[in-house]
Chains A and B, each alone.
Chain A
């Protein structure tokens, strides 16, 4: 046994040159000739672009809806007044002016419902009732004709409520359909499998715009003689079919990722096909593909802008409509940027939510 005791070396802080923000700056920006050149080049580019941008967007901008002031400042300062002036047209499309309170109430209700649905704590059967209730309220408020509300035809629905309606309803309808399609694609029955594959590949192989055209022009031909189908309904059907095909592929990826042992265990327990799918396979499969599903939701939300091409004025279409006004047409960029910002906020929030959801749903799959 040795007589001298062991002297453990205490932890010391790293030398000055390694620590702190100065070292980080040096490592990140000035690390070698190439990196330094890149930093300098980027800084120069930013200096050329950012100050004029800030000047235009903020410093010399006109916040009031003053057409003359805006014209005077054209090219020098942004005219955010166009948002104030045309805001209601952009947000609600061609919905009658006096009834727009109904549209905003309906949108608010739907947004609140969506946000609340994101909270895990509220995932209970009562939520389904809430969904049915709010969607019915939405339709009643927008359509009118009852409870003393004046009727507003669906062709006049537009702006934010239309975007929300299209995305929400088409996704809600597409979801069960996509599960059936995904299961059908995995099926052992050749006829079912072929039909599902054909549908999915057909819808995924063509642009959304042609699906919408098909829905707009061909669906009326399918109707029995004498009946017509609502414009909005046609578009909804088209979007639903489109979303269902894409979601089906996402869910199929999840189904394939569920280990085969799960199926074997369920079969050995005596569960039927539908019981197995409902209680064992689908919960696991869906949990696995949450990020991909939310990506698809974001995609559908953005794709609702295409209804502009079939003359339904959602948020994107409404701003084009609003800028038809010759007086305010010069300030199209500010209007478009406003709508772009709305989309950005919504989509960005959804993608952040997807990240959060993925982390929280996986707490059951990792050892604590």
Chain B
């Protein structure tokens, strides 16, 4: 049987279009691989086998009748389980939505399925995307395929592990404060959070609406570019999705780029001459593991060899982004999660005698500890007497952070930092101390506050052979240029072809 596990989009499409294998066989092999190995990793909350085979058959049928293989024709994907797909539960990793089957489909899922993607399953996550380790799922703890005693990072740990283990070729998560980039870094793959508004959030279960953004995971920057090209674009169902983002790409500022992200990669000679890169020096301080520092320094050397100008830059207020994020995100979450009241959907405590006690007991039984903690924190920050001191203050500092980034981007094209100060940590290591857990996202959080695109690219291995990621950040709507720079970096730094032991076991 042809080997398809751990392959990129173009490799899989090449195998199908040259008739070495059918889309159905590709789907079956990935599902079998997942069934055999995911008992250990728990990347999936559920496999969507019936849907996968139906989609794969449609791709095969269309191709056999002389059609062209579409953008993601026959490519196995994993969707984080907060992205709605009808006929299967969308649980958000929460007991309160355990049996919830959405009556509609997310716009991003629509676009992926129309492009021929084959949905293998729904990926595990921290409950309602709240967490940095994927230990907050109500159903199971996801484990890192490089070392099963380590966390995969969160909150999109499921799709990250699906890609890193070879259960799917690409994956899709949501990133509110680092939830795509952190697990990508911990799992040794590429993960991207696009500019806020580039991808429709319709059908993505809301955590913090002004920060949430859907983005891709892949084995290469090219795969992320190909995947992103499918899901971007204005959606009438999400009023915050950007109208005609490519109009902006094609104006003076980013003249050479177009909406075909991958095309701008292949047309590029790999040189970064003329690109100015700033290293975020606030993120090179205390708490940085020595191997992460060494990999970052090596990465800087690679950028210089490619012709980029690199120097250190200080972006004001970066050191204070964490409290800003945890106030704004939890405030928005406390409002968004008030909809889980046991009336319209989800679980209900059936024994309550009146409405108020039904709300209270349903929510108390349905939400896990971290979700309750964040709802409490957000409710407190919005409550009478504390609003100005917390919520308003955080929104003011958010503006200062955004302005500090704007200033940095007057001088630099791309800013870089380690995606995380450490490699993947041990299961249970930080669960008792929420504040320490929150600090895992110190480098990724500021990017969401400013609505910027960010991408994590593998750049080395650290303690116990665990992957290290480099975060690259650009100004709003510079996604195509960011991908081009990331692609050039990936080719030279040379870690993109490394696969986890689980993705190679099938060979």
Do A and B share a complex?
A: no
Q: Which residues from chain B sit less than 8 Å from chain A, CB to CB?
A: none
